[in-house]
Chains A and B, each alone.
Chain A
Amino acid sequence: MELLILNGLVNGLIVGGIYALVGVSLTLLYGVLRVVNFAHGEFVIAGSFLAFVLFTSFGIPPLLAVPIAAVVFFIAGWGLYYVLIPRLARSDDPELMSFLMFYGVSIAAAALMLLLFEADSRTIDYTFTPVSVQVGPIYVSTARLVAFAITVVVSIALALFLFKTLPGKALRAAIMNPEAIQIMGVDIVRLSAFAFALASALAGVTGVLIALVFPAFNPFSGAEYTIIAFIVVVLGGLGNPVGALLAGVLFGLAEQMATVFLPQAMAQIVGFLILVGTIFFRPSGILGVRFKR
């Protein structure tokens, strides 16, 4: 039993790290742009497919796919911003219309991946040597440990960027007070494009990690990650990057620990119960909000 619990903890941390990244990119996007990206899961899975193509067609290992995905998705996100968002800005209610638009993007992206990769589940047939590593009394797959290490590095880098650099502080400032940041002389259009690109890059990298951690993915896996991303964003507090990181880990741990004690099917219900509980008792997220705007 202790081994099972320990297993649950370790896997919870690993899976939670992935959830944290899925959530933090969505929350940045919502915080700065006030758009609800329903296609976030598809962005993530597109990252998995990028790693898949890089490996099967060019023999590039997943570790190298991480920086490639970051760059490719950053550029794609930057371009996509200028295609999608100016149209939203002309609407009377951009936040509501963003639901509809990104729902459309989500369907289109899934269909595009279906066209390119067909409906079969895919795995990346790459193995690290050794295949698993002993952590205390249990064995964990090397791929999962590598993915976890990357998650930690990416999270720390993101936190340093957001809290220690002026552009990072400008992003957070835009979340806190979107009008005031413009009065400071910050071009909100460029800053938003950057936020969209950064969130896309994070989503792409997360996709590569998902290909390492989970057994398989297919063009329809995106919806699942969109839901997880939303749960994590709400748990962490809308537009709160640190909250999202913590909430992702918490959610992953809860889900994995639930599988230890409950039937597999119940695990996801536990996640939703946490979500409902948070909305009821701490609607501003697990960290709460310190100041009113």
Chain B
Amino acid sequence: MADAVLELDRVDVAYHGDIRILRGLSLKVRPGVITGVIGPNGAGKSTALRALYGLLKPVAGDVLIDGRKVTGLPPWKFIDNGIALVPQQRSLFNELSVEDNLRLACWSFRRDRARIEEALERAYAQFPMLRDKRRDLAGSMSGGQQRFLELGRALALRPRVLLLDEPTAMIAPRISAEIYEFIHGLPGQGITVLLVDQNVRQCVRISDHLYVLELGQNKVDGSARAFQEDAGLRDLIAEWVDYRIDA
């Protein structure tokens, strides 16, 4: 078995031809644990995630799933590989009901009724609130509820890997804490997690392995424990002044 379920190998990503956002970035999502990615604004965290999921095409380097090169694989092929994404921007269909949002996630097996019912049940079991609201329009729910729907929808398909981009951005603190507890428990359910986050404290707390990005490159790569004990790194974070360390 490959040592990474998902991997960027010396990837360059550029916008408009010449503005390089990622420069030779390598990143491994290790199986069975939480891999955290932190870094200041503009470091390329979200870009790295989008490149991993086929939403951006690298100009150089490769994307690998289980050690296989899949560079250029379109985003809609990832869910079939057991890899789900909850992006930073809202990914719900506001004018569809909660249940229709869940059903659309079952697109690749849309003729298999039993499997669809099973997926719906799994989402409702994770977040019972979704069952009560299943006929409501997704756009009518609160920010926190919408985030739960996105998480429930991603998990309904029983992915082996879940990629999360700032799961608690613009979410009330109490619900944020709940979301982090939930993410922390995912490896226990056999789900590998990649967590890209601005919330350094929480990200460091629940991650097993950490990447620190700066200017599209790896600044540091190591176990979260080593990170917590390294005074130099703590100072580095203090430099990212516009940065939310608490929450």
A and B associate in one complex = yes
Residues of A at under 8 Å CB distance from B?
A: 92, 166, 169-170, 172-173, 176-177, 179-189, 290-291, 293
B80 to chain A, nearest CB (A): 7
Residues of B at under 8 Å CB distance from A?
A: 16, 53, 55, 74-80, 84-85, 87, 89-96, 100, 103-105, 107-108, 110, 137, 139-140
B236 to chain A, nearest CB (A): 32
Q: Bound complex: CA of A182 vs CA of B89, how far in Å?
A: 14
> Given contacts A92-B16, A290-B139, A291-B139, is CB(A181)–CB(B104) below 8 Å?
yes
Contact B96 A293 (CB under 8 A): no
Residue of B nearest to A176 (CB): B93
List 7 interface pairs A-B (beta carbons < 8 Å), by A numbering: A166-B103, A176-B96, A180-B90, A182-B75, A185-B76, A185-B108, A188-B76
Contact B104 A179 (CB under 8 A): no
Residues of B within 8 A of A189 (CB): 74
Q: Bound complex: CA of A177 vs CA of B100, how far in Å?
A: 14
Residue of B nearest to A170 (CB): B104
> Given contacts A179-B87, A183-B91, is CB(A166)–CB(B76) below 8 Å?
no
Which of A176, A185, A291, A293 sits near B105, CB closer than 8 Å?
Answer: A185
Q: Bound complex: CA of A166 vs CA of B94, how far in Å?
A: 16
Residue of A nearest to B105 (CB): A184
Residue of A nearest to B97 (CB): A169
> Given contacts A166-B104, A183-B87, is CB(A290)–CB(B95) below 8 Å?
yes
> Given contacts A173-B104, A179-B89, A181-B104, is CB(A291)–CB(B76) below 8 Å?
no
Residues of A within 8 A of B89 (CB): 179
Q: Bound complex: CA of A75 vs CA of B214, how far in Å?
A: 50
Contact B107 A172 (CB under 8 A): no
Q: Which 9 A-B pairs have the closest CB atoms?
A: A291-B139, A180-B91, A185-B79, A291-B94, A173-B93, A182-B75, A185-B108, A176-B93, A182-B76
Contact B79 A187 (CB under 8 A): no
Residues of A within 8 A of B94 (CB): 176-177, 290-291, 293
Residues of B within 8 A of A291 (CB): 94-95, 137, 139-140
Residue of A nearest to B55 (CB): A179
Q: Bound complex: CA of A166 vs CA of B102, how far in Å?
A: 11
Q: A176-B95, A180-B90 are in contact. List 10 more A-B contacts (CB 8 A).
A: A166-B104, A169-B93, A172-B95, A176-B96, A177-B92, A180-B92, A183-B84, A186-B107, A290-B95, A291-B95
Q: Bound complex: CA of A185 vs CA of B105, how far in Å?
A: 7
Residues of B within 8 A of A169 (CB): 93, 96, 100, 103-104
Residue of B nearest to A183 (CB): B85
Which of A92, A166, A177 sits near B107, CB closer than 8 Å?
Answer: A166
Residue of A nearest to B103 (CB): A166
Contact B96 A173 (CB under 8 A): yes
Contact B104 A184 (CB under 8 A): yes
Contact B74 A182 (CB under 8 A): yes
B222 to chain A, nearest CB (A): 30
Residues of B within 8 A of A184 (CB): 76, 79, 104-105, 107
Contact B107 A293 (CB under 8 A): no
